[in-house]
Chains A and B, each alone.
Chain A
Amino acid sequence: MHIAPSTFGGAIEPAMHIPDGFMSPAVSIILWIAAIAGVGYALWRVNRELDERKMPLMGVLAAAIFAGQMLNFAVTGGTSGHLMGAALATILLGPWASIVVMTAVVSIQALLFQDGGLLALGANLVNMALVGSFVSYAVYRIMQRLVGTRRWGALVSGFVAAWLSIVAAALFVGLQLALSGTSPASLALPAMGGIHLLIGLGEGLITVGALALIAATRPDLLGATGGARGGSNRGVVLAGLAIALLLAVISPIASGNPDGLEWVAEQLNFLDAAQDPAYNLVPDYVFPGVANEKAATIAAGVLGVLIVFGVALFSGRLGRRKDAVG
């Protein structure tokens, strides 16, 4: 059974987990490299900074976030708000452990529940584990400077951090779809950003509720990002800020004037690009091309039927032999 959060709400959920097939191979592979670098560095930091107690903590909290994504509340007319969890994990564990926890959540969702693809896993890790944690951390720390670290300060900062982490991750999804040539930037960015400005409010509210409960019952746990356990992470604040600024600059430019992004998309989709001119530049070639294509389709169909039939026969015979032996 599929256990995306929507199974329980049957409602609109953040369209964050990109399935396979929507991104060009080049974009997928670049994002895989970024994800490996980012998660690898986070693992190294976690290994260096945190005591061995953290391993079970990260595993169980990853399970708690997975289960927490089942929780939802009705907003109106079949839509519901629910949790992604990157901001909550970042505030409670610090950015590096949060990246590891979110990596576990996103990877298990992809591997076991096909919530997000395997080739697209690199992109989903970048969006939810890296961008989600970096932006949450940067916004949380900056907000705390502005509104103070007392209870209300922590709650307000938590709300804004959770909200913006969703918006930033959604804009990244939009950018990646645009770079892959799947959705034009002028549509993908405003649509993803706009919807998640609303959906992010749900994330913000749940995060605040969770923080309020934790502040009331285990205030000691809220110290993790205060520098006591996370260490000083000015670099993370700068990285998160850089991501946010990058989005703030790129999104309007890309959606208003999509040529730049589309040019990059074309360069990246060199395989598609290499295919198209072959049909367009040599008009004489089109007709035999079409005829060949039909023949090829028929041949592929025949070959496919033969493969399936062969495997069915083979499995059937194997099963019968096993029965005879057993």
Chain B
Amino acid sequence: MHANFIDPFHARDSLLHHVDPRVKLVLAVAFILTTALLPPAAWPGYILVFALILAVAIASALGPFFAIKRAFLVLPFVLAALPVLFTTPGEPWLHVPLGRWALTATAAGLARFASIALKSWLSMQAGILLAASTPFPQLLMAMRALRVPRLLVGVFGLMWRYLFVLADEALRLMRAREARSAALAGAGGSSVLWRAKVTGYMAGSLFLRGYERSERIYDAMLARGYDGEVRTLPLPPMARSDKAALLVGLAIVGSILALEIWVG
């Protein structure tokens, strides 16, 4: 089994896939920032933002439910926002008796909680569509255009190249552990400490294999003329249509924000 299922990129010949990665990265961040700036319970704003991301999803040819479904992964974290149901002052909406105490959820608390969950779900869709429509090397290019330090972009790039190799390595280690430790179904083998030790050894050998591989990689880089400087091709110029897409995108999120904050 190979870990190439890790790659979130889905090749399609779509409108979104052809947009310049710099434009996509900036617009994704602008979208998430806009969503974050919308006040709580700004339902019309959320609808517009949702329509926008749905439109982008359609333009990606990945199917309208691609991002919607994956964005539900945010649900477990929503637990962290549950207390606002009960701590926001307002009209009582639900009374939960808990033995001697009782929790009272308010309507305002419910609105606040729903806003947090919705915003998170909407923001995640932007990230999903960005990653699914942009090959990682193009994202690196976009980061360089946004002045992320060269050394950091170099480390990102190397990490991406060897991610699959080391993830394969991790899967092999886990398979080997399964094969060695005979256990009844459900029972996890010996004591917790023993299991932790085995996992620790696995992490250690993964680290060592990575370390030794990096030495070989360094030698290979030296052989190809690496002198400590990370060199990259110059950034290609942006097409006029991409510049237009950037302006239109920023104008749309800007006007949603303006509508919601000053009019709504």
Contact = CB atoms under 8 A, between A and B. Distances in A.
A46 B206 contact: no
A71 B152 contact: no
B254 interface: no
Interface of A is mostly: helix
A304 B210 contact: no
A268 interface: no
Interface string B8-19: 100001110000
Interface string A39-70: 11001001100011101111111111011101
B263 to A, nearest CB: 8
Given A25-B36, A271-B39, 20 more contacts: A1-B8, A21-B74, A21-B120, A23-B36, A43-B152, A59-B154, A67-B163, A71-B173, A71-B174, A81-B196, A100-B155, A112-B8, A118-B29, A119-B36, A210-B203, A212-B204, A293-B44, A299-B44, A303-B48, A303-B51
A113 interface: yes
Interface stretch (A142-150, A183-191, A230-238, A248-256): A183-191
Contacts of A130: none
17 contacts: A20-B124, A21-B117, A25-B37, A40-B149, A57-B215, A59-B214, A60-B158, A60-B210, A61-B214, A63-B159, A63-B161, A63-B167, A64-B209, A73-B188, A118-B127, A271-B37, A308-B58
A21 B154 contact: no
Interface of B: 3, 5-6, 8, 13-15, 28-29, 32-33, 35-37, 39-40, 43-45, 47-48, 50-52, 54-56, 58-59, 61, 70-71, 73-74, 76-77, 80-81, 83-84, 87, 116-124, 126-128, 130-131, 136, 139, 149, 151-152, 154-163, 165-167, 169-171, 173-174, 188, 192-193, 195-211, 213-215, 217-218, 221, 226-228, 230, 261, 263-264
B196 A311 contact: no
Contact of B228 (A52, A184, A187, A214): A52
A205 B77 contact: no
Interface string A142-179: 00000000000000000000000000000000000100
A133 interface: no
Contact of B200 (A92, A182, A183, A209): A209
B55 A311 contact: yes
Contact of B80 (A15, A111, A315): A15
